[in-house]
Amino acid sequence: MRGKLFMFLFLFALLYIVFQFANSKKGLERQEAQIEKLTQKNEQLEQEKDSLVNLIGANSKFSLLNSDKAKMYIEDRDFQVQEFNGLIQSQILDQNSIDSDNPLVPYQGMEGNMAVNAIKLLNHKWGIAEFTDGKYWGELIFKYFINEDRTIDIEVADSFLYAN
């Protein structure tokens, strides 16, 4: 009787160990699959991050804020670069009006008034701006000049309107 009891307990323990082994193996496989999926996602995000860093690095070459020679030119005319950047942007954006097109935009608005909505100064003489009327949009390149009396003149060099 005692031998049968020990045999029964041994078989029960053996089945319990086999069940635990199979269950833990499934859990381990599930965790490995999840780790693999997260590793792939991490690699993809790293590639996207690297491409964004490269894109930012490529665009920063043509920026007033990253050009030492352009900064010196602005500072020689008694302006701070950050202040000057804001001054140009506000001078252009202040020309946006609710009831008329921005005078710098050489196109008339078809779905509303043409207004400048984004500006980037490329160096100490040129800038680029994006404009839209809500449906149609385009870009323009402008030149700006600092006068002796610290006023700034802006003139459009070229522009285009995207076809819809």
Q: How far is CA 118 from CA 38, 68, 137, 141, in A?
A: 38, 23, 11, 12
- The residue extents of the domains of the chain are 1-60, 64-161
Nearest to 11 by CA among 95, 3, 88: 3
Q: How far apart (Å, rounded) are the C-alpha atoms in residues 8 and 11?
A: 5
DSSP assigned state of 41: H
Model confidence over 109-138: pLDDT tens digits?
Answer: 888 888 899 899 888 899 999 998 888 889
Model confidence over 31-71: pLDDT tens digits?
Answer: 999 999 999 999 999 888 887 777 665 556 677 777 888 88
pLDDT at position 96 is 85
Give pTM, 2 decimals.
0.60
E strands of 1-151, at which residues?
A: 115-121, 126-132, 137-146
Q: How far apart (Å, rounded) are the C-alpha atoms in residues 114 and 95?
A: 11
pLDDT at position 142 is 94
pLDDT bucket at 139, cuts 50 / 70 / 90: very high
Model confidence over 85-111: pLDDT tens digits?
Answer: 888 888 888 888 877 888 888 888 888
